[in-house]
């Protein structure tokens, strides 16, 4: 699994002209799933995201986690994170998991995050939908997490 994590002051998702979710300060997580991913990848990411120390402390250092700051998560599926652009100009998505597999792992990640942080602190996009994602990147801070070596 691959997660592109952005520290945000706010983020929102819109589908068909209607806002479906919004968070204040926290993390926007763009999530890509590959064929080889499974429950162990979900568990790793579910542990890593809330504990990731990328929020500033009193001294201005990135030293605090979501657990400490009380922020929210917005998790959005994004198969294009596994685009292969090495040959030609048209991306190949052959590494990305099929939607039926990816949606199950996406939903399980959301379930595990909600179990840790609480239902109200974890928002989502709409899996497979064409979405408009708005965000205000704080820092900017953007970090890539990969469960695969």
Contact of 45 with 95, CB cutoff 8 Å: no
Question: What is the rounded CA–CA span in Å between residue 147 and residue 149?
Answer: 7
Q: Which is catalytic among the residues 9, 55, 69, 80?
A: 80
Domains and CATH numbers, the chain: 2-142 (3.50.80.10)
pLDDT at 12: 98
Question: What is the rounded CA–CA span in Å between residue 103 and residue 86?
Answer: 27
10-28 pLDDT, tens digit per residue, is 999 999 999 999 999 999 9
Q: Which is catalytic among the residues 6, 9, 56, 79?
A: 79
Q: Dihedral (C-alpha) 11, 121, 44, 62: value to the nearest 10 degrees?
A: 60
Query: How does pLDDT run along the chain (149 residues), one tens digit per residue?
Result: 999 999 999 999 999 999 999 999 999 999 999 999 999 999 999 999 999 999 999 999 999 999 999 999 999 999 999 999 999 999 999 999 999 999 999 999 999 999 999 999 999 999 999 999 999 999 999 999 999 86
Could you confirm whether 80 is annotated as catalytic? Answer: yes
Could you confirm whether 78 is annotated as catalytic? Answer: yes
Q: What are phi and psi of 63, to 5 degrees?
A: -145, 5
Question: What is the rounded CA–CA span in Å between residue 122 and residue 22?
Answer: 10
Q: What is the average pLDDT value for the chain, to the nearest integer?
A: 96
Q: Which is catalytic among the residues 6, 55, 61, 78?
A: 78
pTM of the entire structure? 0.94
């Amino acid at each position: 699994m691959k997660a592109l994590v952005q520290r945000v002051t706010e983020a929102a998702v819109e589908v068909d002209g209607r806002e479906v979710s919004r968070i204040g300060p926290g993390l926007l997580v763009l999530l890509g799933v590959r064929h080889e991913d499974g429950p162990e990848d979900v568990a790793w990411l579910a542990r890593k995201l809330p504990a990731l120390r990328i929020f500033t402390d009193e001294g201005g250092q990135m030293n605090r986690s979501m657990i400490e700051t009380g922020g929210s998560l917005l998790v959005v599926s994004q198969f294009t994170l596994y685009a292969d652009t090495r040959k030609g100009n048209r991306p190949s998505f052959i590494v990305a998991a099929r939607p039926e597999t990816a949606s199950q792992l996406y939903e399980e990640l959301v379930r595990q995050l909600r179990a840790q942080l609480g239902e109200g602190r974890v928002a989502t996009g709409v899996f497979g939908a064409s979405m408009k994602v708005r965000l205000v990147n704080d820092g900017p801070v953007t970090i890539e997490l990969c469960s695969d070596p």
